A and B are shown apart, each in its own frame.
Chain A
């Protein structure tokens, strides 16, 4: 479908053509994702060093994590990614209703992810695993504590950023939204593709912590 006259006029003034605007937004989003890889990369590097220094402690600690909940949550996250990707496809085909429905499913699954995560944190709390708070003392050998703490730190940051992913485009714009918005005020489908890109990277980093114990 060729861009309409209205779409042309909606091109931001710094761009010569809608295509240039679209390319810029995609390059911006990929660059933004590269920064995210570097952000989590430092953390995973630290955890890898720790895994190498204290293999037994990490193995024991990771056995205390709820792999089933982590597994379900990974599935929920990937399913929600799929829904968002389908929304992008529907958008490309011009099926607006289906795009909106898929986006809602994606957002709903995202909320489900946060709910399940909260339940898992509650179980961890009851076991005394949370740093500094809880009804019981830390139940594992002391050198496992660091791994558990790193787990809370990493999943906490992940959940916070996943939450921002859900709210993307909402009333409180994040830098990622700004880039997505720059992509295509005039074309919803590009905007969705950009937001979807942003979402997917969160999902693939998620299971690492559960599996590090091997």
Chain B
């Protein structure tokens, strides 16, 4: 009898307190614990990538450089981009919040393949270690795009090791996407129809489709790149009849959809934050849901806009330009719907909402400048300048990282059972927005004036704007360290979180904070649509 009672107690204990041993974490198949493992790993990678960014911005304080050699600078920006794109941004929201929340949001006990989920974390770590080895052993100087023929024939850096690391992490992405697809199809609780799914789940479904279909192409392309570099097979080498441009096609066939792998989960988060803090039903639910699928589909057809100046045919460029404009439509649908959700809502100004509003502002700027770049004539002027750098940082940092921080603040009480200090949360959200704008807005101007990317020596006329940008980067670095500090502080001293501290709708807010090991004592039965605000007692 006592063992039955003990088992019951264990069932009810939070997923963290169920067992404390290191082994119980490293061999866990609990989606919530795996989410935490991912969170620890990507936080580490975020600060490594951030340190490289600091090197870049310090170097650019002066037009003659500060302390890096030409070679050192190439390696610094490659380290920054490789780590940030592949080891932070792509896994960030799906592997942490997606892993933690998708089963709970659909009323399941876990993902469909829990052991596969753990395996994908180990694969990710193995790939990450290869990348780190390449960076520590001597660095890579190709940029994150590994353009041929430089990466295959000329670079004397650790390209193969880095490419192998990314190749390996790709399989982790594939397995995560596969797990999400099967889970969302097959593990929904009774009554949870497709249009009763939260928008968070819809966006992650769209992301998973991209992960599963695009990542294998990247894996093969990297394998070809390695084979070319090591054995000289010739596929990208004109001397053997190969074509270096084939690399660009294969790479961007994955890497443009990869931008949507980074931004769709962010959009997933923003839909949740906006509706919870406006206490309002999401405006145009089906439009927002379908827009995720539209972005995932059209996103596969726009890769050629990275190659307008690579000598591709004018007709191809016109087609890719048109399709790039088209993919902006579903993104705009989301922005309008979020804004309309705020309208006449009972808006509560809390840190997560500030991140969400910051996201919308920065995403709109990043998106519209994306349309500048999709216009053939303007693209010729600003290709490979700081204009491009500013544009994609608005999307990948301004938008995606803001959404990640918004998600951290929103679900932190659920994941840890502790509240973060709200005042500090609001201050850091504002500081991140200011620091970001100061860092990256001047880069639009720099790019438009003609400063090229990937050089550490520049014309003195650009110094004022570069100093502004570097000063912004220091503010941004401080602003990222503040949440790290108070989140850690809150684990011990933060106020205990109730089950639903935000008064938000959704299954995760109906269970304990932190959730018990199996999420639900009984499988929930869903009888209504999501986002039914204002919440009534007992719903």
Name A's B-contacting residues (CB within 8 A): 12-16, 20, 23-24, 27-28, 31-32, 34-36, 38-43, 45-46, 49-50, 53-54, 57, 131-132, 142-143, 145-146, 149-150, 152-153, 157, 175, 178-179, 181-182
- Chain A residue, CB-CB nearest to B245: A49
Find chain B residues with CB under 8 A from A178 CB. 113, 115-116, 119
B519 vs chain A, min Cβ distance (A): 10
Find chain B residues with CB under 8 A from A38 CB. 212-214, 216-217
Q: Are B216 and A36 in contact (CB under 8 A)?
A: yes
A20 to B112 Cα, complex, angstroms = 10
Tell me which residues from 194 to 230 in chain B have a Cβ below 8 Å from any Cβ of chain A. Answer: 212-217, 219-221, 223-224, 227
Q: Are B115 and A182 in contact (CB under 8 A)?
A: yes
Find chain B residues with CB under 8 A from A57 CB. 241
B351 within 8 A of A: no
Find chain A residues with CB under 8 A from B114 CB. 12, 14
Whether A40 touches B220, Cβ cut-off 8 Å, given contacts A14-B109, A49-B246, A146-B234, is yes
Find chain B residues with CB under 8 A from A175 CB. 116, 119, 171, 175
B20 within 8 A of A: no
Find chain A residues with CB under 8 A from B185 CB. 24, 27
Q: Are A153 and B233 in contact (CB under 8 A)?
A: yes
Q: Are A132 and B112 in contact (CB under 8 A)?
A: no
A157 to B119 Cα, complex, angstroms = 22
Q: Are B109 and A13 in contact (CB under 8 A)?
A: yes
B523 within 8 A of A: yes
Q: Are B186 and A42 in contact (CB under 8 A)?
A: no
Q: Are B217 and A42 in contact (CB under 8 A)?
A: yes
Tell me which residues from 105 to 122 in chain B have a Cβ below 8 Å from any Cβ of chain A. Answer: 108-116, 119
A181 to B114 Cα, complex, angstroms = 12
Chain B contributes a number of interface residues (CB within 8 A of A) equal to 49
Q: Are B220 and A43 in contact (CB under 8 A)?
A: yes
A-B CB proximity, top 9 nearest: A149-B233, A39-B216, A38-B216, A14-B110, A146-B234, A24-B186, A42-B220, A42-B217, A143-B241
B306 within 8 A of A: no
A93 vs chain B, min Cβ distance (A): 27
A-B contacts besides A143-B240, A153-B233, 18 pairs, CB < 8 Å: A20-B187, A28-B178, A31-B182, A31-B212, A32-B178, A35-B213, A42-B217, A43-B224, A49-B243, A50-B241, A57-B241, A131-B231, A142-B240, A146-B241, A149-B234, A175-B116, A175-B119, A182-B116
- Chain A residue, CB-CB nearest to B211: A35
Q: Give the interface SS of chain A, mostly helix, strand, loop or mixed.
A: helix
B164 within 8 A of A: no
Q: Are B518 and A46 in contact (CB under 8 A)?
A: no
Q: Pick the residue among A24, A131, A150 that contacts B232 (CB under 8 A).
A: A131
A63 vs chain B, min Cβ distance (A): 17
B426 within 8 A of A: no
Q: Are B186 and A27 in contact (CB under 8 A)?
A: yes
Whether A146 touches B186, Cβ cut-off 8 Å, given contacts A14-B114, A36-B216, A43-B224, is no
Q: Are A14 and B178 in contact (CB under 8 A)?
A: no
B347 within 8 A of A: no
Whether A179 touches B113, Cβ cut-off 8 Å, given contacts A14-B108, A14-B187, A28-B178, is yes
A46 to B174 Cα, complex, angstroms = 22
Q: Are B234 and A39 in contact (CB under 8 A)?
A: no
- Chain B residue, CB-CB nearest to A16: B523
Find chain A residues with CB under 8 A from B109 CB. 13-14
Q: Are B224 and A46 in contact (CB under 8 A)?
A: yes
Find chain A residues with CB under 8 A from B223 CB. 153, 157
Can you give 10 A-B contacts (C-beta < 8 A)?
A20-B186, A24-B113, A38-B216, A39-B219, A39-B220, A50-B235, A145-B240, A149-B235, A153-B233, A179-B178
Q: Give the interface SS of chain B, mostly helix, strand, loop or mixed.
A: helix
B250 within 8 A of A: yes
A67 to B110 Cα, complex, angstroms = 50
Q: Are A146 and B212 in contact (CB under 8 A)?
A: no
Q: Are B523 and A35 in contact (CB under 8 A)?
A: no
Q: Are A145 and B234 in contact (CB under 8 A)?
A: yes
A149 to B110 Cα, complex, angstroms = 45
- Chain B residue, CB-CB nearest to A183: B113
- Chain B residue, CB-CB nearest to A145: B240
B47 vs chain A, min Cβ distance (A): 30
A203 vs chain B, min Cβ distance (A): 19
Find chain B residues with CB under 8 A from A150 CB. 233, 235
Find chain B residues with CB under 8 A from A153 CB. 223-224, 227, 233, 235
A27 to B183 Cα, complex, angstroms = 10
Tell me which residues from 381 to 397 in chain B have a Cβ below 8 Å from any Cβ of chain A. Answer: none
Whether A24 touches B182, Cβ cut-off 8 Å, given contacts A36-B216, A146-B241, A146-B242, is yes
A181 vs chain B, min Cβ distance (A): 8
A157 to B227 Cα, complex, angstroms = 11
Q: Pick the residue among B108, B113, B220, B250 that contacts A28 (CB under 8 A).
A: B113
- Chain A residue, CB-CB nearest to B108: A14
A35 to B172 Cα, complex, angstroms = 12
What mask results when residues 227 to 265 of chain B are scored 1 for a CB within 8 Å of chain A, else 0?
100011111010011110010001001000000000000
B181 within 8 A of A: yes
Q: Are A13 and B234 in contact (CB under 8 A)?
A: no
Q: Are B111 and A14 in contact (CB under 8 A)?
A: yes
Find chain B residues with CB under 8 A from A46 CB. 224, 235, 246, 250
Find chain B residues with CB under 8 A from A36 CB. 216
B226 vs chain A, min Cβ distance (A): 10
A46 to B237 Cα, complex, angstroms = 13
- Chain B residue, CB-CB nearest to A28: B182
A142 to B240 Cα, complex, angstroms = 7
A141 vs chain B, min Cβ distance (A): 10
Find chain B residues with CB under 8 A from A27 CB. 181-182, 185-186
Find chain B residues with CB under 8 A from A132 CB. 231-232
A106 vs chain B, min Cβ distance (A): 25
Find chain A residues with CB under 8 A from B174 CB. 35
Whether A182 touches B113, Cβ cut-off 8 Å, given contacts A23-B186, A132-B232, A146-B233, is yes
A14 to B223 Cα, complex, angstroms = 36
Q: Are B216 and A42 in contact (CB under 8 A)?
A: yes
Q: Are B221 and A42 in contact (CB under 8 A)?
A: yes
A182 to B243 Cα, complex, angstroms = 43
Tell me which residues from 144 to 188 in chain B have a Cβ below 8 Å from any Cβ of chain A. Answer: 171, 174-175, 178-179, 181-183, 185-187
B149 vs chain A, min Cβ distance (A): 14
Find chain A residues with CB under 8 A from B237 CB. 146
Find chain A residues with CB under 8 A from B235 CB. 46, 50, 146, 149-150, 153
A12 to B275 Cα, complex, angstroms = 35
A24 to B183 Cα, complex, angstroms = 8
Q: Are B523 and A131 in contact (CB under 8 A)?
A: no
